[in-house]
Structure 1
Amino acid sequence: MIKGVRTLTTLDQLPHERLLENLGNNFITDNDQKILDLVDVISTIYIRDIQTKRRDSWSRKFEVSVPVTNVSLWEQARPILSRLITFVSGDQVEITYTQREKEFRTGLFTDLTKGNFKAVSLLSGGLDSFSGAYHNIANGIPSLYNGYQNSNNSEHKRQKLVSEFICLQDPSAASKISPNLKVTKIEPTQATRSLLFLALACALAYSYQIKDVFIYENGVLSLNPVINHRFTTKTTHPRTISLYNQLLKVLELDIMISNPFLFETKGAIIDRLSNTFKVAITNTYTCSRSRQNIYVGKFQCGHCIPCILRKISLAAYDNEHYDVEYDVPYDYKLRSIKDKYVQNEYKSSVDYFRELKGNIDNGSIYSYIDIRPRDYETGDYNERTTIMLKEFSREFERFWSKYAIY
């Protein structure tokens, strides 16, 4: 055990030693060490994130210390990493880098068969990453799928079902679910979780000499519209991906992260699925409240923002018969709910999307989303974003005509 690691992470080993079990590469060069350091740095920040309670204000300030093999390189990366963390989490994190000896490891990821993979795709067990697998198959993109074992048993079970289904549909595919860090979670928001997932996907890509990492998420939630103090996450916001790619460039890692669904609605993405994939939608997991372990019900809740968007997206194209059961079903009116907390959450989540539609229709939507030219790889991002948002407005209309809650 390296001195100081336990106090950093509550683990008796460096994070990469647990997270990168059975990685199929020999880590014998200086460049190889950068991936191990990336996983350790991001993991340490994530652990501190989930173990530091947010109080009255959203933003927090805390310090972390991380052993790395190249302190000077990580000092160069400090400005871009700080911007990334602050943008995603709202936190100010002071990082101290300490020198550790280089580690030469062999035979990692040996449980995966070497193949002609063109990309690593994140696999959460959710509907968007599930649809991303269909996109890969339909477009002839052989992919490795990488997920992180969530502590929520229901979500982990769905993640395994989705992984098995995808590998059955595409025998050339392979899946690697990274083990859970098994540290106590105090703060449920876990804003930096996506940064950890991307670090693990980059490690897998590096090990297999793959240059593309895909994180599939519909374009509407990727923009993280802030309405009535409600918002989702900045997991796949264009700036998150841009800043992460800048970090990889500073570290001289030849890997590019992208979101192929950046300009598409969830409804359109789902509607393109084959019937075989649509039937398997019931294997997927969306509920954010269950994921955070703050909700215990028989089914997915049906009233959080991700659940409501899932309902909107399926119902808009008459695909709701493929969906799972919810504790708050599609046809529930607000007055049907007796629990006041659930009733208020249901109303707040639905109203979030009602107001989003209104802001799209009246042209004020760009006051609620924060996008800039440097966040995009394409010059026509504004036009494509507008087209997508107008399509979502029409999707909400179709949903509301069937399932208005008032």
Structure 2
Amino acid sequence: MKINIILKENIRDEFELLDDYTFYLDSIFTNPETSKVKSKIVSHDIFKYLSGKRGYQINPQNTLVADFANIALTTYSIDQIAEREKYGVLGWSRYFNLHIPVYNLDKWNLVKNDLEQTLSFLSGDKWTVHFRKTTEAFPQLQDSEFKAKKVCLFSGGMDSFIGINDLIHKYDRIATISHHKSGNSGELSLQKKLIQEIKTANKSTLITPFYFYVQGLKNDHFKGEKTQRARSIIFLALGLLIANTSSDTTSVIIPENGLISLNLPLTPARGGSHSTKTTHPKYITGLNDIFKKIGINNRIENPYRFKTKGEMLTECENADFVREKIRKTLSCSKPGYHKQWTKVEDDGNNKDVSNQCGYCVPCIIRRASLYTNGLDKETDYFKGISDNQGDFRAFNYAISKYTTKQIVLSEFLKAGSMNLTSREIKKYVNMYIRGIKEVKKFIQA
């Protein structure tokens, strides 16, 4: 089944399709209070930052960056809510038809195929993108005095905490980009607490945090999709908006360890898009290549792509501070799930239940890295790593499979053509071998 998603340029945009399963959302430049879209598929506060109502003024200098933000918002929204079981072929690959107005029609048509292929690699779906020219000029935004030297994505996880701590030793003005959804996971409050900890410990660096709310909206047709393979695209687009507000060359930093970034399938059943590709080198280089072709000079960088999670912690700056605070970070794939649903006392109080399950893939990799540095504590998690056998058995299978560099290389190259040198590929392979050994030592212990 083909699902049509139409982005409205503004409240005067009358573009529509009469096909069944056609859904709408607004451009980031449309005030939600004046929107004419009924049953919209996303809610967000990006407009408040663009209009200065959040205290920080976003003013991208390149209209291509604004175009990409609208593309990302459209992609993220439908990926979040359209369940694969109902709309996917054999319960997986869905067919999305995006209709998006852009300020730079010729340039986006130049990379149309590249973008569709990149999105398909990211989510495992078929994406067809139809661009149309905007009918009105780019909105006049207030000039911003805010200028960051680096923009760093900050989820509240262990890697992002290390990433910011490393950056503040090199740059005196940093912006952090956080994204949260609704619910009781506690992500937003945790992100704010950790940023405040970093600010308090580093008075000489100006750290400007941005906390964006973006949430796909379910409706009578869409009940929500748990995999959400395309979730990283909105995170990157928000970072790019801030980076381009600062300068045409300010980079967006993704602090992500190489093991989880490469994310080779732990078992045969987790091949292809059944393993997330949110920071995979093929995806990141694909986006950077698209940006280069059309004229976006800001780049996406992952300085930890050749490091394991344990190595990130071992080699980080300000090690004493990081080691003291690192257990406050959140790595779980379902943050707050047990805290939300578990009642452990007669009065319903669950304050002592951990936000982190302890047995999902990110939790196991986290605990392995902490174990390597003598910091792992099982009591920090809701359950032990083997209490849920799925991911535990998958890691044991991977440990028995990825025993040589040739096996890792063969699996890595299944991703297809990547704009990487032979030296970079070798470094990825060596890192992955070290990462698997890191997890192996922890599990066996």
Question: TM over 0.5, yes or no?
Answer: yes
Contact 2:150–2:171 at 8 Å: present in 1 too?
no
Choose which of 293, 312, 315 in structure 2 pairs with 1:269: 312
1:401 positional shift? 3.7
Closer, same or farther in 2 for the Cα pair 1:376/1:98, shift >3 Å? closer
Closer, same or farther in 2 for the Cα pair 1:373/1:90, shift >3 Å? closer
What are the residue-to-residue correspondences of 1:16-31 with 2, within 5 Å? 17=47, 20-22=50-52, 24=57, 26=59
Closer, same or farther in 2 for the Cα pair 1:310/1:4, shift >3 Å? farther
SS in 2 for 1:194: helix
Q: What RMSD in Å do the two structures reach over aligned CA positions? A: 3.0
| CA distance in 2: counterparts of 1:307 and 1:5, whole angstroms | 45
| CA distance in 1: counterparts of 2:336 and 2:126, whole angstroms | 25
| CA distance in 1: counterparts of 2:295 and 2:434, whole angstroms | 39
| CA distance in 1: counterparts of 2:311 and 2:201, whole angstroms | 21
More displaced 10-residue stretch of structure 1: 366-375 or 70-79: 366-375
Which amino acid in structure 2 is aligned with residue 157 of structure 1? Answer: S
1:3 aligns with 2:17: no
Q: Percent identity?
A: 25
SS in 2 for 1:288: coil
Structure 2: give runs of 5+ residues left out of the alignment.
Answer: 1-10, 17-22, 27-31, 38-43, 343-352
Which amino acid in structure 1 is aligned with residue 361 of structure 2? Answer: I
More displaced 10-residue stretch of structure 1: 204-213 or 357-366: 357-366
In the other structure, the counterpart of 2:70 is 40
In the other structure, the counterpart of 1:130 is 161
| Cα deviation code 1:257-315 (max 9, x no counterpart) | 11101000001112234121222223311111237999845321111111111111111
In the other structure, the counterpart of 1:317 is 373
What are the residue-to-residue correspondences of 1:53-68 with 2, within 5 Å? 53-55=83-85, 56-68=90-102
In the other structure, the counterpart of 1:103 is 138
1:70 positional shift? 2.6
| Cα deviation code 1:186-210 (max 9, x no counterpart) | 1121111111111111111100004
| CA distance in 1: counterparts of 2:106 and 2:194, whole angstroms | 41
| CA distance in 2: counterparts of 1:324 and 1:40, whole angstroms | 43
In the other structure, the counterpart of 2:3 is none
Contact 2:368–2:439 at 8 Å: present in 1 too?
yes
Contact 1:281–1:324 at 8 Å: present in 2 too?
no
| CA distance in 2: counterparts of 1:140 and 1:69, whole angstroms | 33
Which amino acid in structure 2 is aligned with residue 179 of structure 1? Answer: Y
Choose which of 237, 240, 248 in structure 1 pairs with 2:291: 248
More displaced 10-residue stretch of structure 1: 62-71 or 214-223: 62-71
1:379 positional shift? 4.0
What are the residue-to-residue correspondences of 1:190-201 with 2, within 5 Å? 190-201=228-239
| Cα deviation code 1:217-262 (max 9, x no counterpart) | 1101111211322354111110111111012123311111111010
Contact 1:24–1:208 at 8 Å: present in 2 too?
no
What are the residue-to-residue correspondences of 1:2-401 with 2, within 5 Å? 2-3=12-13, 7-9=23-25, 12=35, 17=47, 20-22=50-52, 24=57, 26=59, 32-55=62-85, 56-100=90-134, 101-107=136-142, 114-115=146-147, 117-140=148-171, 142-153=173-184, 154-170=186-202, 171-181=205-215, 183-184=217-218, 186-209=224-247, 210-228=249-267, 229-230=269-270, 232-273=275-316, 274-290=319-335, 296-297=341-342, 298-299=353-354, 300-321=356-377, 325-329=380-384, 334=386, 343=387, 346-363=388-405, 364-370=407-413, 375-376=418-419, 378-401=421-444
Q: Name the TM-score, length of structure 1 as normaliser.
A: 0.84
More displaced 10-residue stretch of structure 1: 375-384 or 227-236: 375-384
Q: Name the TM-score, length of structure 2 as normaliser.
A: 0.77
Which amino acid in structure 1 is aligned with residue 324 of structure 2? Answer: V
Closer, same or farther in 2 for the Cα pair 1:232/1:325, shift >3 Å? farther
| CA distance in 1: counterparts of 2:79 and 2:216, whole angstroms | 14
